[in-house]
């Protein structure tokens, strides 16, 4: 799969972040589905960008996406600093709900892939209750390891039977990006979208930060308070390194190139 959209990309430490907002993202979804243009969408912030610093293949995956949306406020600030005043946050959980709402009119079908055992079926029930008429045509809970050949064929068969417009992938970064890049061409669906913790947010397993905290750029601190043992390394190590490397990029001390 290749980058098919015409949106410019902001170079954030060598990761091309699409210069978009929610309205533009929704339009890109509609265009891709209408034209059956297969692709995958990465929803990323500081964590994904920093993972890509030590994983060249992950950086290539981000840069070959249909879209790589600015999930965190630092991505938005970087874009506006580069002259893209129209950029705003395209947050995975919000994007998911907006597309579910729009799907009732458009008739898009969805497949939920990810979460721990029981999460995807529960999310299906919750979304169908919240958006009457929404078409969720299946769910799949992958194991916490690479799929073996028989599991791959089973998943390909399941997807082929229902042919969803959108597969929502909730297995965290960078696993979900690698999954989408590996299987996107083999699954009979138009778009795959990696939304990380959205499955847990929308089933109430994790608390979402209030909107004012999300806009402030300190959502990471809220999430760290909710899950300190799991997230301390991600935020307390990655965030300072991101700031330092961003300073090097802005000042020209270090060059980062997009493919």
User: If phi over 0 gives left and psi between -120 and 50 gives alpha, with beta otherwise, what is residue 97?
Assistant: alpha
Average pLDDT over every residue of 96-112 = 96
Model confidence pLDDT, tens digit, residues 105-119: 999 999 999 989 999
Model confidence pLDDT, tens digit, residues 135-192: 999 999 988 888 999 999 999 999 999 999 999 999 988 999 999 999 999 999 999 9
pTM given for the model: 0.91
Model confidence pLDDT, tens digit, residues 228-243: 877 777 778 888 999 9
- Supply the pLDDT for residue 2: 45
Task: Identify the burial level of 157 via C-beta atoms within 10 angstroms of its C-beta, where 0-12 means exposed, 13-18 middle and 19 or more buried.
Answer: exposed
User: If phi over 0 gives left and psi between -120 and 50 gives alpha, with beta otherwise, what is residue 114?
Assistant: left
Domains of the chain: 9-202 (3.40.50), 211-251 (no CATH)
């Amino acid at each position: 799969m290749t980058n098919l959209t015409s949106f410019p990309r902001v170079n954030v430490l060598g990761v091309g972040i699409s210069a978009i907002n929610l309205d533009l993202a929704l339009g890109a979804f509609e265009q891709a589905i209408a034209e059956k243009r297969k692709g995958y969408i990465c929803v990323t912030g500081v964590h994904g960008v920093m993972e890509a610093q030590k994983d060249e293949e992950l950086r290539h995956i981000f840069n070959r996406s249909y879209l790589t949306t600015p999930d965190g406020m630092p991505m938005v600030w970087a874009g506006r600093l580069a002259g893209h005043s129209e950029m705003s946050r395209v947050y995975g959980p919000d994007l998911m709900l907006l597309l579910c709402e729009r799907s009732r009119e458009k008739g898009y079908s969805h497949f939920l892939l990810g979460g721990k055992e029981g999460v995807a079926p529960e999310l299906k029930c919750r979304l169908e209750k919240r958006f009457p008429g929404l078409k969720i045509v299946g769910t799949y809970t992958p194991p916490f390891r690479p799929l073996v050949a028989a599991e791959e064929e089973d998943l390909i068969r399941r997807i082929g039977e229902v042919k969803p417009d959108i597969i929502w992938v909730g297995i965290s970064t960078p696993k979900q990006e690698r999954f989408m890049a590996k299987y996107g061409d083999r699954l009979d669906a138009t778009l795959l979208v990696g939304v990380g913790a959205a499955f847990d947010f929308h089933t109430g397993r994790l608390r979402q930060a209030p909107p004012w905290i999300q806009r402030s750029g300190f959502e990471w601190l809220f999430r760290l308070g909710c899950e300190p043992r799991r997230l301390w390394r991600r935020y307390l190590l990655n965030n300072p390194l991101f700031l330092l490397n961003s300073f090097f990029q802005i000042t020209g001390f270090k060059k980062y190139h997009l493919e």
